[in-house]
Amino acid sequence: MNTKTILVIAEYLDGKLNPITDELIACAIEITKIFDLKAKDISGVKAISEIKVIHVKGINPLESEKYKSSLVPIIREINPSFILMGHTSQGIDVASGLSVRLGCNCITGVNKIIYPEYVDVGKSEDSKSNILFSRLVFKGKCNAIVGVEKPENITLLTIQSGSFYIKDCCKEYNNIISNEEYYPSNVDDSTISLIEYGDIAYSRTTKSKLNEAKVIVAAGRGIGDKENIEYLKKMAACFTGSAVAGSRPLIDMGWLPYEQQVGITGAIVSPELYLAVGISGSSQHIAGMKDSKFIVSVNKDPNAAIFNFSDISIVEDCLSFIQAFIDNIP
């Protein structure tokens, strides 16, 4: 009864393993470390005994109603303490519904695993939950630190990509990680007959001129108006090898073409300089530009999440700032 298993559901697209799977394993190791620490703190709590990575074969994970149904018996059989999936389009499609079917806890978009400071029951409100999870709220401006009320239940987590990395020190956990293939037998679910999964279409090109640019001047909703894109272009013209880009809402509103969208559903860029103007810094945008060599952000909100990822922070109205930047050639 004391052995705890963490179940990692490997993510596949077109039969290829998605890199998020490594991050899920890294997160599983973080959880294991916390339980190891705990085992030292209070006797009777057994550490994690196994990290089981399952590779579900013979079923297309994009056929999500079917996939959910096939996962239920597998999970019941393994009976893990934690289930980890990616906070990806696939994870979002499957995890929450799956948690209802399993009657388990579900926390989405987890970016950090936290050891509660007080483990003695009664000392603090953290005490009930023996482990805490951090997830972004309010456009990424803060993290909510979440605990589960019934830690004895299974807890399903979807993991924010870019939050966990396999480090060298993780090697000591190699002996508890196992990989297993699962071939679900005939899944029986009445919802399945109601949904027909068709083709995958690569309708939008992911090739983007942004990849060649040395400097990217990117705007978000803070730019205010379609006409103001002209200011953005003028600012970009101050640099050689520059390109104009935008956050997704600008593309959705038709202010800029899709090729100029930066983020998880757009281009992933890493120019010498990324200048973000009026962009709040949601995780989906950050994922597309965080590896830029130098990041400068202009935002009127001093708490904007984008500043956490910036080398230089400028709290200003973006149009006034652009104007000042263009005008003042020292």
Partner 1 sequence: MKILVCIKQIPTSDININDSGKWITEGNNSSLAISRFDENALEEAILLKERFALLGISVDIDIISIGSQTAAESIKRAMGMGADNGIHVITEDKGYVSGAVTALRLATMIKKISKAENIIKMGDAPYSCCPYDLILTGIMSEDLMQAQVGPMLAEYLNIPCVTSVVNIKFDDNLNDNVDITDKIEVQRELEGGIRQNIKVKLPALLTIQAGINQPRYPSLSNILRANKKKILTYNIVDAQSSNSFDPLKVVRVEYPEKKREAKLLNGTTKDKAIELKNILKQRGLLI
Ligand X SMILES: Cc1cc2nc3c(=O)[nH]c(=O)nc-3n(C[C@H](O)[C@H](O)[C@H](O)COP(=O)(O)OP(=O)(O)OC[C@H]3O[C@@H](n4cnc5c(N)ncnc54)[C@H](O)[C@@H]3O)c2cc1C
- Which positions touch ligand X (CB under 6 A)? 139, 220-222, 224, 247-249, 261-266, 278-280, 282, 284-285, 288, 299-301, 304, 317-318
Closest of 38, 14, 12, 22 to residue 159, by C-alpha = 22
Rounded Cα distance between 299 and 46, Å, is: 48
For residue 312, state whether it binds partner 1 (rule: CB under 8 A): yes
The H or E element containing residue 41 is helix 20-41
- Selection from ligand X, partner 1, none that 119 binds (CB < 5 to 8 A by kind) is none
Task: State the minimum distance, in angstroms, from the CB of residue 112 to partner 1.
Answer: 9
For residue 169, state whether it binds partner 1 (rule: CB under 8 A): no
For residue 243, state whether it binds partner 1 (rule: CB under 8 A): no
Identity of residue 264: I
- Selection from ligand X, partner 1, none that 166 binds (CB < 5 to 8 A by kind) is none
**Residue 85 neighbours by CB distance under 10 Å:** 26
The H or E element containing residue 30 is helix 20-41
For residue 53, state whether it binds partner 1 (rule: CB under 8 A): no
Token duo for residue 162: 């870019």
13: alpha, beta or left, given left = phi > 0 and alpha = psi -120 to 50?
beta
Token duo for residue 267: 């281009």
Kindly state the DSSP code that residue 18 receives in the 8-state scheme: P
For residue 175, state whether it binds partner 1 (rule: CB under 8 A): no
Q: Where are the alpha helices (DSSP H) in 206-259?
A: 229-236, 248-252
- Selection from partner 1, ligand X, none that 311 binds (CB < 5 to 8 A by kind) is partner 1
- Selection from partner 1, ligand X, none that 292 binds (CB < 5 to 8 A by kind) is none
For residue 109, state whether it binds partner 1 (rule: CB under 8 A): yes
Helix 89-102 to helix 64-78 angle (10° resolution) is 50
In the complex with ligand X, the residue whose CB is nearer, 69 or 208, is 208
Segment lying near partner 1 (by CB under 8 A), choices 46-54, 75-83, 167-175, 258-266: 258-266
Residue selected from 15, 44, 122, 330 as contacting partner 1 according to rule CB under 8 A: 330
Write the binding mask 66 to 95 for partner 1: x where contact by CB under 8 A, - elsewhere: ----------------------xxx-xx-x
Rounded Cα distance between 21 and 268, Å, is: 19
Write the binding mask 2 to 41 for partner 1: x where contact by CB under 8 A, - elsewhere: -----------x----------------------------
What SS3 class is residue 9? strand
